[in-house]
Amino acid sequence: MTTDPTPGDRIAKVLSRAGIASRREAERMIAAGRVAVNGKVIDSPALNIVAADKITVDGKPVGEPEPPRIWLYHKPPGLVTTERDEKDRPTVFSTLPDTLPRVMSVGRLDLNSEGLLLLTNDGAVKRRLELPSTGWLRRYRVRINGSVSEAKLDQLRAGIEVEGIRYQPMTVTFDRQQGANAWLTVSLREGKNREIRRAMQALDVTVNRLIRVSYGPFQLGALKAGEVEELRQRVVRDQLGMSDKPKPARVRKPVNRPRRGKNQ
């Protein structure tokens, strides 16, 4: 093992890549004396690991890290996108199939929003796909109570400021009126917290359904609520190249959906 800052990767990153824990959780495990490198218990995460190093956690050897993987998940409404919730509400992670390894979400969808949520086993991939500089378009189907004029929608198309927060221009299409509600298609590249709901509220309308249908090249398609599909490794490699014109992503068959217990 080495403390040189150049070779290898930090121990917490290695444990995260191996699916043991998040980096923050790995640091807590190290502080608790549960991690050993080459037979020696370590007490600091300020350590770089190279391929020859042998790591154990609670006395069990840590295997080779998996390659980066990405799943498409159709999030139903009523789930929070966190591993634990202080209000004891059901979470996305408590409903995923047991066959999945430890995964992280790429960004979030709020409690009442639904649709496409990307999951990955790799923290570096998560951060890369969340970067605003990636510039990938997020597209949503939005149902509002009431109706809204093209003149008002032009405010969103030009960029709008709500309670001191400036939102970049959105692409907005009025699709149809359906009784007391109207359907819109909204596309944006930022994805700030509750951006669409707050922008619509500024136009004096309320969002009563919000479905994310795509995230960059990845499409919700016919994926049913609660289902998960893993991208083929070839597609993952292509998309992580961040080409200017990514090809539409193809997916594997849905993963079976046995449920985890709520408290797991």
User: Which pairs with CB-CB distance under 8 Å and at least 24 residues apart come from 167-175?
Assistant: 167/192, 167/195, 167/198, 167/199, 170/196, 170/199, 171/137, 174/148, 174/150, 175/141
Q: Which of 9, 85, 110, 238 is catalytic?
A: 110
Tokens in use for 133?
A: 């500089």
Looking at the chain, how many residues does it have?
264
Q: Is residue 72 within a helix (H) or strand (E), and if so which, with residue range?
A: strand 70-75
Phi (first) and psi of residue 198, to 5 degrees:
-70, -40
The verdict on whether 154 is a catalytic residue reads: no
C-alpha distances (whole Å) from 226 to each of 56, 231, 245 are 35, 16, 29
Active site residues: 110
